[in-house]
């Protein structure tokens, strides 16, 4: 039977999510890749246990996560809960999402309708064996569904006790402003937006989504903070065959030209001077944005989780370091 590390809360840093009462670890574990039906359950379980032992309490899922079929990541997470983790349910913040294509037909395609969101959460709860999730996100804005319908559906699920908080993901500043106004009128516990953000993907700054979130008490849970693994030491000397780019399992391969490799090597030099790996510095850099509550990191083995959590040892940057980094990444 799994017994967690009794010192798991000693080092992890926790941040309040916006102006809510919920605190999240600055490093969270996302189960998008490597947790589906094509993965070893024992390996999945070892990574979840490693994360929890390090103070990671936030586990991020979605209805369509899992390979080779949608929902299998939630199913595996439910099995991991059954094998010992369920005893610690009140120490966990479990989030899931719905919005992308999930099942055949007009009710399960990409949308934000009340029918889709309600049905999908019921399915997710069943797969994980839960009475509620801590955060339920609309995964992507749907231009075909009024924002009011999406907001009302999320609000009603909170009132039914199936979700404690609601969030949105992949919403621009303008889309966030629109739905935030509705949530405020409804008094919905809307606390978080989940955008992509990294050293190589700074769109939330140009869009001013980060400033809007901070001004309005909304936390940001950032996904792809390592730009699909590009901001690691894996690609400093070529493309390993077993890497995401080597397997053709990511869309970022075209970014890896000679200019990018040179940029990554220079960033790696800065990280080394800071006593960090490139990946750790990349996470620390994202967390230096005061609008960011947590970075959602993936993993294919426990050591990656250990390395990622190591970023908390150096969350500070000198003005000179920031200037040098910004001169490289633009």
**CATH code of residue 305:** 3.20.20.100
Domain for residue 2, yes or no?
Answer: no
Task: Report the mean per-residue pLDDT for the chain.
Answer: 95
Q: What is residue 16's three-state secondary structure? A: strand
> What is the pTM assigned to this prediction?
0.94
Give the pLDDT confidence of 90-149 residue by residue, as tens digits: 999 999 999 999 999 999 999 999 999 999 999 999 999 999 999 999 999 999 999 999
Give the pLDDT confidence of 251-273 residue by residue, as tens digits: 666 777 888 889 999 999 999 99
The DSSP-derived string for 133-177 is EEEEEE-S--TTS-HHHHHHHHHHHHHTTSEEEEEEES--HHHHH
Paired with 208 in beta bridges are none
Looking only at the bridges linking them, the beta strands covering 190-194 and 93-98 are: unpaired
CA-based torsion, 300, 141, 179, 228: positive or negative: positive
Domain for residue 154, yes or no?
Answer: yes
Domain for residue 5, yes or no?
Answer: no
Q: Name residue, tokens 């010992």.
A: 84
Q: Name residue, tokens 């797969």.
A: 127
Range of the domain at 245: 21-329
How many domains are contained in the chain? 1
Domain for residue 13, yes or no?
Answer: no
Angle at 151 between CA 148 and CA 152, to 5 degrees: 85
Answer yes or no: is pLDDT of 212 > 70: yes
Report cis status (omega within 30 of 0) of the bond before 68.
yes
């Amino acid at each position: 039977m799994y017994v967690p590390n009794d010192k798991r809360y000693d080092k992890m840093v926790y941040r309040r999510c916006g102006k809510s009462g919920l605190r999240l670890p600055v490093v969270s574990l996302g189960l998008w890749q490597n947790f589906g039906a094509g993965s070893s359950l024992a390996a999945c379980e070892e990574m979840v246990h490693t994360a929890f032992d390090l103070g990671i309490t936030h586990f991020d899922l979605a209805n369509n996560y899992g390979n080779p079929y949608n929902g299998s990541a939630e199913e595996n997470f439910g099995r991991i809960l059954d094998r010992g983790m369920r005893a610690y349910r009140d120490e966990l913040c479990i989030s899931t999402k719905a919005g992308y294509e999930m099942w055949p037909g007009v009710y399960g395609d990409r949308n934000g309708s009340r029918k889709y969101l309600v049905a999908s959460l019921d399915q997710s709860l069943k797969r994980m064996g839960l009475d509620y999730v801590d955060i339920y996100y609309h995964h992507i804005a749907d231009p075909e569904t009024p924002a009011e319908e999406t907001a009302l559906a999320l609000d009603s699920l909170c009132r039914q006790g199936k979700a404690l908080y609601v969030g949105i993901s992949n919403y621009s500043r303008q889309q966030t402003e629109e739905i935030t106004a509705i949530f405020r009128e409804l008094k919905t516990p809307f606390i978080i937006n989940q955008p992509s953000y990294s050293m190589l993907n700074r769109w939330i700054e140009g869009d001013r989504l980060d400033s809007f979130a901070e001004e309005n008490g909304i936390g940001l849970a950032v996904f792809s903070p390592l730009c699909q693994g590009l901001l690691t030491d894996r690609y400093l000397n070529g493309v390993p065959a077993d890497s995401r780019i080597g397997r053709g399992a990511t869309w970022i391969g075209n970014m890896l030209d000679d200019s990018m490799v040179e940029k990554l090597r220079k960033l790696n030099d800065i990280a080394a001077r800071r006593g960090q790996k490139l990946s750790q510095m990349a996470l620390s850099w994202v967390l230096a944005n005061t609008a960011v509550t947590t970075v959602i990191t993936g993993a294919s083995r426990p050591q990656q989780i250990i390395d990622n959590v190591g970023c908390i040892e150096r969350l500070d940057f000198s003005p000179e370091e920031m200037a040098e980094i910004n001169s490289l990444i633009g």
